[in-house]
Amino acid sequence: MRFLRPRGLEDGGRGIAAALANGILDCKCAGGGSLPRRTSRSIATSRRAVLLPRFGGPEVLQLRDNVEVPDLKQNEVLVRARAVSINPLDTRMRSGYGRSIFEPLLPIILGRDISGEVAAVGASVRSLTVGQEVFGALHPTAVRGTYTDYAILLEDELTQKPKSITHEEASAIPFAALTAWRALKTTARISEGQRVLVIGGGGAVGFAAIQLAVANGCQVVTTCGSQSVDRCLAGGAEQAVDYTAEDIELAIKGKFDAVLDTIGGPETERIGINFLRRGGHYMTLQGEAASLADRYGLAVGLPAATAILLKKQFQYRYSHGIGMVMLFSS
């Protein structure tokens, strides 16, 4: 098993974005055929895993042998990991983000992305076969993880791995790309001819969003650091503004139908909102729920986060005529 830190979808460029647009990563698996059914016990009974016994820096992570493999449920798939990736969400969770939710469950296995082979399937799984190469990602709130030799995912969290990419490349795609998909396709419902602004196009989610929007026939403008300008332009952006050297509000012209803010600070929120035309969508990865729940507890924090989001949605709807959505972060 190899670990890979995703820096975007560098291998496939527009081809991977086009595959996204065609539904490959929309959790619609393309396998089939008859297969053995293993429902109560998988072929592997123990595994190696990287466990998080307590919150802290990288030094708290522990590699352990003989970690039990749970019994498979009917809609679950056991995947033999060949590569997994490290997302920003993983490092934040390791440091204590979501403490109020995950602390009672320690020790836990971190990790969301995976690429490998199907080792066993539950009784109701019909789209995947044992031995098939697959890749996919767990839901952001899943308490199980992928930093292990054998990981368990739901059937609809996996799809067949294209032969054109390696396991390492495949493991860097799903979680970030699906975050971009949910923002642009599920929420904003982008279509050909629209203008899309991606704030933070140099990261994995931002770079996936650029390619996805371009594949859907949109005109894309992005902000990024100087080291990412050429890559964002190669990914299809019509303009890539170096935020370290240029004034974003002066460099970018016109209004946009959708703004995806992968940075999520007060300043980028203000800028993104002001760039939207009426009827547009502002989407941010930085929600309030987990941080407020950690600070005040679930009973107070979650209602407070909901109230803040509703207030902003009401405010922006009536002041700017736009919609606002907070997405799960990658």
Confidence of residue 4 (pLDDT cuts 50, 70, 90): low
Can you tell me the mean pLDDT for 62-77?
A: 94
Instruction: Please give the DSSP secondary-structure letter assigned to residue 327.
Output: P
- Dist. CA 113–CA 101, nearest whole Å: 21
Whether 143 and 200 share a structural domain: no
Q: Of 56-65, 256-265, 300-309, which gets the smallest average pLDDT?
A: 300-309
Would 311 be classed as within a structural domain?
yes
Whether 215 and 302 share a structural domain: yes
Q: Label residue 148 exposed, middle or buried (CB < 10 Å: 0-12, 13-18, 19+).
A: buried
Whether 65 and 98 share a structural domain: yes
Q: Are 94 and 112 in contact (CB under 8 A)?
A: no
pLDDT tens track for 284-304: 887 555 565 556 455 555 555
Phi and psi at residue 290, to the nearest 5°? -65, -45
pLDDT, residue 218, reads 98
Can you tell me the mean pLDDT for 221-228?
A: 97
Phi and psi at residue 116, to the nearest 5°? 180, -150
Whether 322 and 180 share a structural domain: yes
Can you tell me the mean pLDDT for 46-58?
A: 95
Confidence of residue 305 (pLDDT cuts 50, 70, 90): low
Beta strand pairing status for 62-68 and 108-109?
A: unpaired
How much is the CA Rg of the chain, to the nearest whole Å? 20
One-letter identity of residue 90: D
Would 2 be classed as within a structural domain?
no
Whether 317 and 183 share a structural domain: yes
Q: Is the pLDDT of residue 60 over 60?
A: yes
- Dist. CA 145–CA 110, nearest whole Å: 5
Instruction: Please give the DSSP secondary-structure letter assigned to residue 55.
Output: S
Whether 153 and 213 share a structural domain: no
Last residue of a domain, one of 119, 146, 172: 172
> Which domain range does residue 127 map to?
46-172
Whether 179 and 310 share a structural domain: yes
Confidence of residue 35 (pLDDT cuts 50, 70, 90): very low
Helix (H) or strand (E) holding 231: helix 229-234
Q: What are the start-end ranges of the H helices in the chain?
A: 14-21, 88-95, 99-102, 167-171, 174-181, 204-215, 229-234, 248-251, 266-275, 289-296, 298-319
Whether 165 and 194 share a structural domain: no
Q: Determine if the pTM surpasses 0.75.
A: yes
Would 7 be classed as within a structural domain?
no
Q: Is 271 helix (H, G, I), strand (E, B) or coil?
A: helix
Q: Is the pLDDT of residue 31 over 50?
A: no
Q: Label residue 95 exposed, middle or buried (CB < 10 Å: 0-12, 13-18, 19+).
A: middle
What total number of domains does the chain contain? 2
How many beta carbons lie within 10 A of that of residue 240, not counting itself? Answer: 24
Beta strand pairing status for 133-137 and 113-121?
A: antiparallel
Would 187 be classed as within a structural domain?
yes
Would 95 be classed as within a structural domain?
yes
Would 93 be classed as within a structural domain?
yes
Angular region, 286: left φ>0, alpha ψ -120 to 50, beta rest: beta
Q: Are 241 and 252 in contact (CB under 8 A)?
A: yes
Structure tokens at 301: 């924090």
Q: Is 296 helix (H, G, I), strand (E, B) or coil?
A: helix
Would 23 be classed as within a structural domain?
no
Q: Of 110-119, 223-232, 296-305, which gets the smallest average pLDDT?
A: 296-305
Whether 132 and 215 share a structural domain: no
Give the Cα-Cα-Cα angle 153, 183, 215 (nearest 5 degrees): 95
Last residue of a domain, one of 123, 148, 172: 172
Higher per-residue pLDDT: 288 or 200: 200
User: Closest Cα to residue 174, out of 198, 205, 215, 144?
Assistant: 205
Confidence of residue 20 (pLDDT cuts 50, 70, 90): very low
- Residue 71's domain is classified under what CATH number? 3.90.180.10
Whether 132 and 190 share a structural domain: no
Whether 196 and 320 share a structural domain: yes
- Residue 304's domain is classified under what CATH number? 3.40.50.720
Packing angle of the helix pair 298-319, 289-296 (nearest 10 deg) = 140
Would 36 be classed as within a structural domain?
no
Whether 257 and 268 share a structural domain: yes
Last residue of a domain, one of 137, 155, 172: 172
